[in-house]
Amino acid sequence: MTTQPSTVGPGETLATARRMMRDHGIRHLPVLDGGTLVGVVSHRDLYASESLVGPGANLVSQAMTHGAYPVAPHEPIGRVAGCMARRQFDCAVVVEQGRVVGIFTVTDALSLIERSAGADTAG
């Protein structure tokens, strides 16, 4: 899990979101409206909005996935990973007392599998 993830507002531009992702080396940004989690914008969302909607879509609110998969910090990782797999979510946003405190991505899950399998000689 990444703690204290970068976040973006729904009224921010897609260029701002893209720049944040590039600068921080990330692919998902929780979207907060007045401190409340309202969605997630991903690298994939940015590409889709550019190719499907074209230059008319320039706000995060126009490209983001509305809603998000919020989880508590102490939610069992197996339950979170299982839900992500069944519902084909790329991330879960960790929320504690209404505040975003982390993000858990498919990449995080794969890193956990690698560590638990002792795959230090792979690839």
pLDDT tens across 3-31, in order? 999 999 999 999 999 999 999 999 999 99
Q: What is the pLDDT of residue 57?
A: 65
Q: Find, among 106, 109, 72, 102, the residue nearest to 89 by Cα.
A: 106
At 41 the pLDDT is 97
Question: What does the pLDDT read at residue 11?
Answer: 96
Q: What per-residue confidence (pLDDT) applies to 34?
A: 94
Tell me, what's the pLDDT at 122? 53
Band of the pLDDT at 102, cuts 50, 70, 90? very high
pLDDT of residue 53: 57
Q: What is the mean pLDDT of the chain?
A: 90
Q: Which CATH architecture has domain 2-117?
A: Roll (3.10)
pLDDT of residue 3: 93
| pLDDT at residue number 67 | 82
pLDDT exceeds cutoff 60 at 87: yes
Question: In the chain, what are the domain boundaries?
Answer: 2-117
